[in-house]
Amino acid sequence: MVKILDFRGDPRSPVTYTGGETIMFSAFIASRSKIVHVEINRFQPIHVNRDEYVFEIPLDDLRLQPGLNNVIFTLYAESDRREKATQDLIYEIIFEDGDGGGNDDVEAPIIHQLTSDIPAVVLNYTSRNTSIPVTFTAVVTDNIAVDNVSLTGAILTNINGETYTFIKNYSFFDYNYGVTNDTLTLLATDVSGLSSSSNIIIPVDVIDDQSPKITSLSSSTNSVTLRTSSQSQTVIFSALITDNRGISSISLSGATQTNVSGSTYTFQKTYNYSNYSYGNVIDTLTLSVTDVSNNVTNSSIDITVSKIDDENPKISSLSADDTTVTLSTSSQTQKVTFTAVVSDNVAISSVTLTGATQTNVSGGTYTFQKTYSYSSYAYGNSSDSLTLTVTDTSGNTNSDSISISVSKNDDEKPKISSLSADDTTVTLSTSSQTQKVTFTAVVSDNVAVSSVTLSGATQTNVSGNTYTFQKTYNYSSYSYGNSSNTLTLTVTDTSGNTNSDSISISISKSDDQKPTISSFLVDDTTVSLNNTSAQSQTVTFTAVMSDNVAISSYSVSNGATFSNNSGTTYTFTKTFNYVDYPIGTTPEEFTLSVTDTSNNTTTSSLELSVIRVENDVTKPVISSFSSNTNNVFLTTSSQTQTITLTVVASDNVGIDSISVTGATQTNVSGDTYTFQKTYNYSSYSFGNSNDTLILTVTDSSGNGDSDAIDITISKSDDQKPSINSLTANDTTVTLATSSQSQTVTFTADVTDNVAVDSVALSGATQTNVSGNTYTFQKTYNYSDFSFGTTTDVLTLTAIDTSGNANNDNISISVSKSDDQNPTISSLSANDTTVTLKTSSQTQTVTFSAVVGDNVAVSSVTLSGATQTNVSGNTYTFQKTYSYSSYSYGNSSDSLTLTVTDTSGNKNTDSITVSIAKSDDQKPGISSLTANNTSVLLKTSSQSQTVTFTAVVSDNVAVSSVTLSGASQTNVSGNTYTFQKTYSYSSYSYGVSTNSLTLTVTDTSSNTNTDSITVSITKSDDQNPSISSLTANDTTVTLKTSSKSQTVTFTAVVSDNVAVSSVTLSGATQTNVSGNTYTFQKTYEYFSYSYGNSVDTLLLTVLDTSNNQNTDSINISVSKSDDQKPSISSLTADDTSVTLKTS
């Protein structure tokens, strides 16, 4: 809506125009939307300051007639929403022409009257299709004659003499909501061209009287169940709401608005377990919708809220003072105390423990006891499981169990009557190695024998109480000599009671077995002795012998001597000498004799021959032993070399054989023997080695001689290593500001015929060697290179163990570039909140940005702002915010900072400025009244509704009107109606006051308040209630023998507030318990006449407000005489009667 707040011009009137003059105008224009066009008679403003527009209009541009001119200046304003406003100013301008002449007629027409048939026009939305005609009447005269009369915007309908009638139709669609002053200018012109004007103002009030429409109000569920296990539930409410103009405010009591989509409004309310009591309750939520014209519509929805306790009671612990019960004949009972600690979120209803009796309760601790009796259980172990059951007041249960181990036993030991053996002496020998002994035991028990064992023996029979066992004694189980064996008899009954006895057996073990000679051998059965090489010979006798116990002594006859013993192998030796035997063969016998520790003896014999001969003892003669070279050279390129050896040898008898180690005989010539040997590269290690060649010459008698010669062999490697491949995982390295290093892995495959000694790659570090594969790494760093592309050449050098070397190269292309965005250290504003008001319509904000770059900044811009300064890395910008550029309310302006460096890298940041444009004039409260300020609440009339009326207004528009505690029921123009129902249950007895606050808020959130006080009086006018009046006996019987009877009366009474007194006529009150009152009356025999009568007793009940109620009860009283007559005496004048026949 566009509104012209003020429009004024030059205060001079009339204005004289001679040429070149101007008139200054100023206008103040308000609008919630943006003003896009303002003009006066097609002239544009020369200056704009927030809502103020300044014009300077040259009179030269006006078509003025000489003399007096009435000129209408029309101000026109239009917003971006095509909302428009106009206002006129009429000026009298006197045009004095240059020669000072003029018309003879200088008297303008006279406007005597300008009126309308209605003072103001009211246009309602509900009758928007009907226009309202207004009739204007003007009386105009002139000294000569009136030529023309017009009224702006109106149609001339009649001329009657000097009276001119006009009609203007006002339509709802031609005006904005609110009051608009329609200024109509009457212009009267006479035949001389002179004119006069007059204005009339018609206020046009456009009213929205259409309430918002609530098409539907629904919820995701109509019932909410809150449980201990699920303590909250969220309900979604959806309302379909429309209005002819616009919604100002929407609220759903107790709920929060979560979304708006078109005409659909969504609310949410979370129901929490802690906010409700157990049971069901109805939650009524009221939807209140107010439009921008303060029309209000209400609707409500009910939600049923159920609160349920579904949490089981908690069993913190269940324990027993003893979980093991032992029952025996001597101790036949045992009492166990159980303790349970339980709790519940509400309250415990019952706690039970099966089979046990509750003995105490202290807070959440429950104590139970159970007595275990010997007679209730069988012998042995059993288990008693007791279940604890806890129930709360909501019927939730929990259980736990505890087990008690019960042991019942008999503690009397079994009886051993006898324990005997058929033989208590055992004799074991090598020839008789086992002996069986039979044992007999007689045992018994008061209940039953469970088991009978004899240590080391096997049970063979049971007959009644007699148990038979056997044990076999084995030769291998005992040491030689005498020993004893003690056997223990153990008897166990069915209750685990045991008894024991023992018996001893004497054992004698002896050896009667001879030693064993497994073998008796000699290493040479023929001894050869000669005068030269074999003048003596030692032979070795080897005997393998053993004994079942141990060998005591051993010997070999005929001069053999014991040498060594290893296990069962015994060694003897004898040396035969050449001089001790004649030439020829001599036989000799040798006997081995072995005795064990028990003097058992075994022998064995063997025979050998001694042969003595005479031999030739002259060695062959070696004259010379030489080689054609003593040095052999083997290389990778020349891998073999053959040498020739020459031997000159002779013998007195004859040479039988001649050899040179490793060489081959190639020729014999007389005493000269020739040999050759070929040396191979593959047969030797690198370096120098020595080969000793031994010459051996033997004659036919076996005499021999030898000689030696040394050959030096040198083996060397003269072959280079092979570089099979040299690669890199990446031959192009890219270094950027964001990635300033890159590691390249190089792989080389290097081999050698012998062995590689070292492999190096210039500038790289070796990281791994696996077989022939060598791995290197080199890290390229951003700081080591200049921007652009560089080539790095790396050389691989391989050296073998012989110093042979080989090289290869690889090239890496290194590219360095800048890809780092400029940095924005900070972007700030001296004020991020701009407040634009009518009184302060512009605000300039200064922005500061601190930026940087690793190379150089190229440009810095801030959208919508102008750069004002640069100081180092700090850039300053300014932006002026104008009132005319924004709508009422809050908006935001996001400005983007863009920084670009010399490499074209960019970085951005943004800053947001909050803009608030508002109207700061409070709404007005004209009145706040109530139809009744005194409320009377009684038991019989428990509610009263009070209607409150408030008349409010605002310079722009009222947004909302609320009255605390009351509900809005109607809006008519500026009058708002509220109602509040006062309920009896909400107040205490007596007089209290309720202060209600009226709060009025306009569309700019300006508020105003007023209050009104209502006096509330609450009183009780309800009589007490008599639920019952009874007697323990309504029939009283009074007899001579029983002259009194007491009757007890019971009355049950109550009151909505409190009972003050209860009386029963003729009776005495004896007791009061809650609402029950007890009375007694004793009926006495003397108080009543004989026969039947009725006693009526009146019960009177008064409450604290003196309200009264009565009831009566009748007692039937019967009085009778049950006393027998008294016989004082009975006599006869004669106690003997004689009767005769006569």
Question: What pLDDT score does 104 carry?
Answer: 56
Sorted by sequence, the CB contacts under 8 Å of residue 463 that are 6+ apart come out as: none
Check residue 672 and give its pLDDT: 92
Looking at residue 11, its pLDDT comes to 67
- 3-class DSSP state of 681: helix
Q: Within the chain, which residues score under 50 in pLDDT?
A: 98-103
Query: Do 246 and 280 reside in the same domain of the chain?
Result: yes
Distance CA 70, CA 60 (A): 15
Report how far residue 537's alpha carbon sits from residue 550's, in angstroms, rounded to the nearest whole number.
33
- The predicted structure's pLDDT at residue 492: 94
Amino acid at 695: L
Half-sphere exposure of 202 (CA within 13 A, CB side): 29
Residues 979 and 1040 in one domain: no
Contact (Cβ atoms closer than 8 angstroms) between residue 342 and residue 353: no
SS3 564: strand
- Biggest CA–CA distance in the chain, Å, is 221
Closest CA to 945 of 925, 965, 972: 965
Check residue 97 and give its pLDDT: 59
Name, in order, each residue with C-beta under 8 angstroms of 68's C-beta and a sequence gap of 6 or more: 14, 92, 93, 94, 106, 108, 194, 195
Question: In this structure, is residue 1040 part of a structural domain?
Answer: yes
Q: Is residue 415 part of a domain?
A: no
Determine phi and psi for 578, rounding to 5 degrees. -55, -40
Residue 341: Cβ-neighbour burial (10 angstroms; 0-12, 13-18, 19+): middle
Give the whole-angstrom CA distance, residue 58 versus residue 23.
Answer: 7
C-alpha dihedral (1048, 1053, 1059, 1062), degrees to nearest 10: -30
pLDDT of residue 616: 66
Residue 475 φ then ψ, to 5°: -50, -40
Phi/psi for 985 (5° steps) reads -75, -10
d(CA 649, CA 625): 9
pTM: 0.32
The residue among 292, 308, 324 that closes a domain is 308
> Cα 429 vs. chain centroid, distance in angstroms?
85
Closest CA to 150 of 198, 95, 204, 203: 198
Same domain, 997 and 939: yes
Give the whole-angstrom CA distance, residue 384 versus residue 403: 6
| Count: domains in the chain | 11
204 neighbors 182 (Cβ within 8 angstroms): yes
pLDDT computed for residue 192 by the predictor = 84
- Edge to edge, the sheet with strand 279-291 lists 223-227, 296-308, 279-291, 247-252
Distance (Å) of CA 109 to CA 106, 162, 197, 977 = 10, 11, 9, 53
Q: Characterise 625 by phi-psi region: left (phi > 0), alpha (psi -120 to 50), beta (else).
A: beta
**Which phi-psi region, left, alpha or beta, contains residue 956 (left: φ > 0; alpha: ψ -120 to 50)?**
alpha
Buried b or exposed e, range 453-463, using 16+ CB within 10 angstroms: bbeebeeeeee
**Cα 62–chain centre separation:** 81
Q: What residue type is assigned to position 810 of the chain?
A: I
Whole-number Å distance between alpha carbons of 303 and 270: 12
The tokens of 1061 are what?
A: 């007194």
Return contacts of 611-614, CB within 8 angstroms, 24+ apart. 611/526, 611/527, 611/528, 611/529, 611/584, 611/585, 611/586, 612/529, 612/530, 612/578, 612/581, 612/582, 612/583, 612/584, 612/586, 613/528, 613/529, 613/530, 613/583, 614/530, 614/531, 614/583
For residues 345 and 343, give the distance between their C-alpha atoms in angstroms, rounded to a whole number. Answer: 7
Asked whether residue 928 falls in the same domain as residue 1015, the answer is yes
CATH of the domain at 363: 2.60.40.2910
What distance in Å separates the CA atoms of residue 497 and residue 499, rounded to the nearest whole number?
7
Q: Please state, as a whole number, how many other Cβ atoms lie within 10 Å of the Cβ of residue 780.
A: 20
pLDDT for position 125: 84
- Asked if residue 687 and residue 734 are part of one domain, the reply reads no
In the chain the first and final C-alpha atoms are separated, in Å, by 159
Residues 1019-1034 as b/e (b if ≥16 CB within 10 A, e otherwise) read ebeebbebeebebeee
The backbone torsions φ and ψ at residue 784, rounded to the nearest 5 degrees and listed phi first, read -90, -5
Residues 248 and 168 in one domain: no
Residue 337 belongs to some domain of the structure: yes
Quote the CA–CA distance of 168 and 134 in Å, as a whole number.
5
CB–CB of 626/709 below 8 Å? yes
Among 864, 886, 918, the domain-final residue is 918
Q: Are residues 898 and 954 in the same domain?
A: no
List of E strands, 802-862: 805-817, 823-829, 833-837, 842-852, 857-862
The domain boundary residue, chosen from 102, 118, 140: 102
Taking a C-beta distance cutoff of 8 angstroms, is the pair 890, 915 a contact? yes
Query: What are the two backbone dihedrals, phi and then psi, of residue 856, each rounded to the nearest 5 degrees?
Result: -165, 145
d(CA 506, CA 509): 10
Query: Are the C-beta atoms of residues 352 and 389 closer than 8 Å to each other?
Result: yes
Domain carrying residue 119: 109-207
Regarding whether 932 and 883 lie in a shared domain, the answer is no
Tell whether 195 and 268 lie within a shared domain. no
Nearest-angstrom CA–CA distance, 450 and 445 = 9
Q: Does the residue 684 lie in any domain?
A: yes
Specify if 687 maps to a domain: yes
* Partners of 517 in the β-ladder: 545
Do 334 and 416 meet the contact criterion of CB atoms below 8 Å apart?
no
| φ, ψ dihedrals at 11, nearest 5° | -70, -10
> Would you say residue 414 lies in a domain?
no
DSSP code, position 1021: -
The answer to whether residues 943 and 903 belong to one domain is no
Q: How far apart are CA 820 and CA 843, in angstroms?
A: 37
Question: Which is it for strands 526-530 and 601-613: parallel, antiparallel or unpaired?
Answer: parallel
Do residue 154 and residue 246 come from a single domain?
A: no
SS3 content of the chain, % helix, strand, coil (to 5): 5, 65, 30
> Residue type for 78, please?
E
Residue 245: CATH number of its domain: 2.60.40.10
In a domain, 41, yes or no: yes
Q: Residue 1134 falls within a domain, yes or no?
A: no
- Cis bond upstream, residue 14 (ω within 30): yes
The answer to whether 441 and 466 are in contact (CB under 8 A) is yes
Residues 751 and 672 in one domain: no
